[in-house]
Copies of this chain bind each other. A is one copy, B any other.
Amino acid sequence: MIIILKQNATEEQIDHLLERVTTLGFQPHLSRGTFRTVIGLIGDETKLQPAALEAIPGVAEVVPIMPPYKLASREAHPQPTVVDVSGVKIGGGHLAMIAGPCAVEAADRMEQIAAAVKKAGANLLRGGAFKPRTSPYAFQGYGEEGLKILRETGDRHGLPVVTEVMDPRRVELVCRYADMLQIGARNMQNFVLLTEVGQAGKPVLLKRGMSATIQDLLMSAEYIAAQGNTQIVLCERGIKGFDPATRNLFDVAAVPLVKQLSHLPIIVDPSHATGRPELIPACALAGVAAGADGVHIEVHNEPESALSDGAQALLPEAYAAVMQQIRKLVEVVGGQW
């Protein structure tokens, strides 16, 4: 950690600061420049909160030089982590092709959608039984009944299932049915839920929050990992942007950036990122070309009567077409599923 002092920092302030950091177990290294004085701290900076140092009189700025996450960092774990979801591998060249409706639908409709996405090449089935809806008056999901439908449909097609959990009290219930637990964007910093899910012993799909930096995302992964579970797949699903032309802003550079900083797999979700079916194929391909470990796409066979978010779902035939393009792309850029 580097402490930059204010131009007018007094000698008393500097003495106090040196004493303070020494007490905290660091060896300070003072450097008086032409205009400013700078103090380097030698020691394990992850034990320090920068905010505490910034509060000391005379301090202008504190610059961390180590990332605040450890278990999620590439430095700590140079090899890519391969997550195993009931036999489907994700990461290290293995791709997750997750598809299904936004919300779990009635059994017959789930059957149709699952059959279609399986045929198109999906290897994981999604569907929400508990939905985080912005309106309290909107459909909130079928609950446990939905979990059963999802489980049975997945089993019939040999597709492990992934579904969102929103409530720490229901982690156990969801674990009874799901192969992978999804933490949604709005809960990315729900630390209570992260901790609970981290202890559940199931692979986790962690979606990036709408105003989360990549460091924030990795810190949330660290929460899960700190419970002893590093079977975590990250997901770029669009962040908040200023252009109303798309629902969110698809940050494709997050893919190579995460790969540089972390060993965890990262997939892309162009459905939520764009919110517009006509942009989904191009963004799915962009994600794969950038090195994503998989693609998450919402598919529905009758979007206009979908229980949730029909407007951003691809029709099964459109999904099959984009999967065919992804297959060709993968031959060029590597990866397999």
Contact = CB atoms under 8 A, between A and B. Distances in A.
Interface stretch (A35-43, A80-88, A109-117): A35-43
A229 interface: no
Q: Is the interface of A mostly helix, strand, loop or mixed?
A: mixed
Contact of A304 (B2, B55, B63): B55
Interface in A216-231: 216, 219-220, 222-223, 226
Nearest to A329: B332
Interface string A66-103: 10110000010000000000000000000000000000
A158 interface: no
Interface string A122-155: 0000000000111111100000000000000000
Interface in A184-232: 186-187, 189-192, 195, 209-211, 213-216, 219-220, 222-223, 226
Interface string A28-48: 010111111010111111100
Interface string A301-316: 0011110111111000
A313 B243 contact: no
Given A31-B40, A51-B309, A255-B282, 4 more contacts: A2-B2, A32-B42, A49-B138, A52-B311
Contacts of A22: none
Interface residues of A, number: 112
Contact of A167 (B51, B192, B222, B249): B192
A249 B249 contact: yes
A189 B186 contact: yes
A251 B260 contact: no
Nearest to A283: B253
A176 interface: no
A288 interface: yes
